[in-house]
Amino acid sequence: MYFQESRKMKLIPYESRYKNQVIALILYLQNYDNQVDLSLEEQPDMNVIEDYYMATGGNFWLVVTEEGMVVGTIGLLVKEQVGVLKKFFVHQDFRGREKGVSSLLYQALVADCQAKDVKIIVLDTPSKCYAAHRFYEKQGFQQIEKEDLLIRYDYPNRDSLIFMLEFGN
């Protein structure tokens, strides 16, 4: 359903054969690119993506190159008709509007939210990830206080900013 091709890359639902690549990409980008210092143990969802995201009404997508390299990820949790955007990462060599990877991932998440009648998306992002903040703001997200979250969910970086998007009203 969400299979699309874009510049010799394809958007696919998560497949377990990519598990090690997904973990490696996310840990690298969190810890070396963003310098957040998170371990795999602090993020148990990465070892059980099908159970954590897909079996609970959400989803998880990958962008994979023709050669089978995972270059982007995004996850969706659905809690009480609120979507939680998780694990949105794009390899540094595949970033930018001209590459289209971020847009492909984000559009899949929004389409899935609309199909599930989810009207609000929330997310957490490290306070020092300024490029991510700009991306979310361009999509219409607004920063909110942690106390204003409509639902509770776990996020390992306590120095995070919280963003929310209401759509489809």
> What are residue 7's DSSP bridge partners?
none
- Which of 44, 50, 8 lies closest to 26, judged by CA? 44
The predicted-structure confidence for 54-75, as pLDDT tens digits, reads as follows: 998 999 999 999 999 999 999 9
Strand extents, DSSP E, the chain: 4-6, 9-13, 59-65, 70-79, 82-90, 120-126, 142-144, 160-166
pLDDT score for 116 = 93
Domain covering 4-166, topology: Aminopeptidase (3.40.630)
Comparing 3-12, 86-95, 137-146, which segment has the lowest mean pLDDT?
3-12
Question: Given pLDDT bands bounded at 50, 70 and 90, which one contains residue 2?
Answer: very low
Domain boundaries, the chain: 4-166
Mean pLDDT computed over 30-47: 87
pLDDT score for 157 = 59
Q: For the chain, how far is it from start to end, CA to CA, in angstroms?
A: 25
